[in-house]
Amino acid sequence: MRLTILGIIMLMVLFMTSGVNSFVGITWGRMQTQQLSPAMVVDLLLQNKIPSLRLMTSGYDIIEVFAATNISISVTMGNSFMYPAKRKDLAYNWVNERIKSPINKGVNIVELTIGSEPFSNTFLKKVSNYEVVNVLKIMRESLDAMDLGYVKTTTAHGMDVLKVSKFPSEADFRDDIKKEMLESVAEFNRTGAPFVLILFPIHFVKDILKYPMEFAFFDNNSGFTIEDGNVTYTNAVELMIDSVAWAIKKAGYPNMKIRIAQIGWPTDGYLHANVQNAERFHRGLLKFIVSQKGTPLKPGPMDIYLHSLCDENIFGTMFGTFQRHWGIYRADGHPKYKIDFSLQGHDKYPTQAKGIVKMPNRWCIYNGDKSNLELVHKNYELACQAADCTRLEQGGSCDGLNFDSKMSYAWNAFFQKNKQQVKACDFDGLGRIVATNPSEKNCEFPIEILSYQDQTVQNGMKLRI
């Protein structure tokens, strides 16, 4: 997919005339059983006038598709890659292959994020990495050596780098990582990089602060506010940003830019996680960004990446099944709710992905045989261990299914994940394939798409993992 000269001009004109000095990008993770084609993703970004993309990996196997599109790309070096990157020669090779080479081919890479929440004590505590500051410096040296000084180097941190505090002005970095955080912000300041922040207001309000959920929304209807000195916070997002800003200020860098690397609202698998709330949250968020008022401590324009482009049905769920349901789009490229990426405030659905090829209209369901319920439960557990059953969890959209339908949902998830192979609907003789859609009310029994991987195999291409 390539952007025409006219398309580039139109994209530039839109953001010059909108009066908005911030950018609103989007993240893209690819932890799906059947992935959207990268060309389809490029098309989605261009049609919806989304100027920036944050890849959750380096994306080296697909990044060349963004060449000549003028879409700004932020790539990520995952925590697992930081150990070999401590060697300067390996770091240099990584930058040469995954940054310089794509840039030479026309990809507009503007930022490299080293690590994802490397000091987390919640969501990503199992992959913590205290080498991040050393690697950050080595990667900076490698980029500079290749005349890529304009590519910023930073690290993405979540709210859990702070001590839990009710008031932003009391916020500070956790004692156990204070040294590492001070070294990090010193490095950001030295290189002119932003502090990159990950925000999940639904989780922060519900599980950390335990405040009324209304406080997570910009149009907070509860009347609940937080008074911090002469500042009144009416929503969690401004409070979260200023909490981090206070910690950075106490570290000695009051003017450091904060960029929101991930912010969004899940639509399933969690209390309050639904399409209606997601649409409401994003409407308020984008209105806030367009206003350019910023927060009490960080006034002015703010850059954000919405999280995320589409659902990821094989993402880890150790801290909640909602982690698979952040997508503004479903995995098949259909938008879930109205959102105007152009920042014009239009009440409309975004453009859906073009060229999607779905598998045939076939579903796998439970045949209702209850002569051996132990065998039924065994097959249910096996299906959900291999496939995504998170919608069946408490609070999920399929939570209210009866026994037979619950079994059918699980078995269909397994059947679809395995590309509708007949043997994937056997379940010891308890499954059968039907052509009539078994979906119920708000619970959809999805059919998966023909994946990017399948398409590349069909076209004789080799997919690099």
Mean pLDDT, the chain, rounded, equals 90
Same domain, 288 and 151: yes
Residue 422 lies in a domain: yes
Residue 350 lies in a domain: no
- The per-residue pLDDT for 319 is 74
Residue 336 lies in a domain: no
Same domain, 69 and 217: yes
Q: How many domains does the chain have?
A: 2
Same domain, 400 and 309: no
Residue 455 lies in a domain: no
Same domain, 367 and 320: no
Residue 419 lies in a domain: yes
Residue 344 lies in a domain: no
pLDDT, tens digit (0-9, with 9 covering 90-100), for 7-25: 444 444 344 334 446 789 9
pLDDT, tens digit (0-9, with 9 covering 90-100), for 192-201: 999 999 999 9
Same domain, 165 and 116: yes
Same domain, 183 and 297: yes
Same domain, 307 and 373: no
Same domain, 281 and 375: no
Same domain, 232 and 122: yes
Same domain, 73 and 121: yes
Q: What CATH number corresponds to the domain at position 54?
A: 3.20.20.80
Same domain, 310 and 414: no
Residue 13 lies in a domain: yes
Can you give the residue range of the structural domain that contains 119? 5-324
Same domain, 43 and 175: yes
**pLDDT tens per residue across all 465 residues of the chain:** 344 444 444 444 344 334 446 789 999 999 998 888 999 999 999 999 999 999 999 999 999 999 989 999 999 998 878 878 888 999 999 999 999 999 999 999 999 999 889 998 876 555 556 689 999 999 999 999 999 999 999 999 999 999 989 999 999 999 999 999 999 999 999 999 999 999 999 999 998 999 999 999 999 999 999 999 999 999 999 999 999 999 999 999 999 999 999 999 999 988 899 999 999 999 999 999 999 999 999 999 999 999 999 999 999 887 788 999 999 999 888 999 999 998 988 999 999 888 888 899 999 999 999 999 999 999 999 999 999 999 998 888 999 999 999 999 999 999 999 999 999 999 999 999 999 999 998 899 999 888 655 544 333 333 322
Tokens 């490299």 belong to residue: 112
